[in-house]
Amino acid sequence: MKNYKFTINGNLYEVEILDIDGNMAKIEVNGAPFSVEIHRDAVEKPKARVVRPPVNAPQSSSPVTVAATPKGSGPLSQIKAPLPGVIIQVLVKPGDAIKADQVVCTLETMKMENAIKAERDGVIAAVKITPQQSVLQDEVLIEMN
């Protein structure tokens, strides 16, 4: 029917609307089928108007703030969901030091529990999930230094 691409929290989702019947829709997200309810009571926000400064306007010299990572920690790495499912357990919290192959959470997919493990040693920077939360394939679960 219609195809869309959405970026949510830095993750790309390809969504195909298969069928709409009243307020129920059948969709496919990254190949996984879902039945969803459409809420039509939301008010559409007015579109923002683009205002360009005059050509001779002075340029802003205000500094840009960039989130810093601890010295020597390097870039953050992400632990992503291998399949869509539901988070059963979260076994780490920000600040925890973990080792490679350590289980960081448990994900239930297709009625099977899957232990999600860290690929390397590191320190947990952010936990983006909670127990009983539904997640999509490639959704970021945990960030680590």
User: What is the per-residue pLDDT across 118-141, written as a single tens digit (0 to 9) for each?
Assistant: 999 999 999 999 999 999 999 999
- Mean pLDDT of all residues in 66-73: 40
First vs last Cα of the chain: how many Å apart? Answer: 42
pLDDT at 120: 92
pTM for this predicted structure: 0.51
Q: What is the number of structural domains in the chain?
A: 2
In the chain, what is the greatest distance between 2 CA atoms, to the nearest angstrom? 63
What tokens were used for 123? 């320190």
pLDDT digits (tens, 9 = 90+) for 4-56: 888 887 888 888 888 888 778 888 888 888 888 877 654 455 555 555 555 55
For residue 127, the SS3 value is: strand
The reply to whether 68 falls in a domain is no
- Residue 107 inside a domain? The answer is yes
Residue ranges making up the domain that contains 105: 77-144
Residue 54 counted as domain residue: no
Whether 113 is in a domain gets the answer: yes
* 119, part of any domain: yes
**Residue 60 belongs to some domain of the structure:** no
Q: Which two tokens stand for residue 50?
A: 């683009």
Type of residue at 39: H
Residue 48 lies in a domain: no
- Please give the single-letter amino acid code of residue 98: I
The answer as to whether 14 is a domain residue is yes
The CATH number covering residue 114 comes to 2.40.50.100
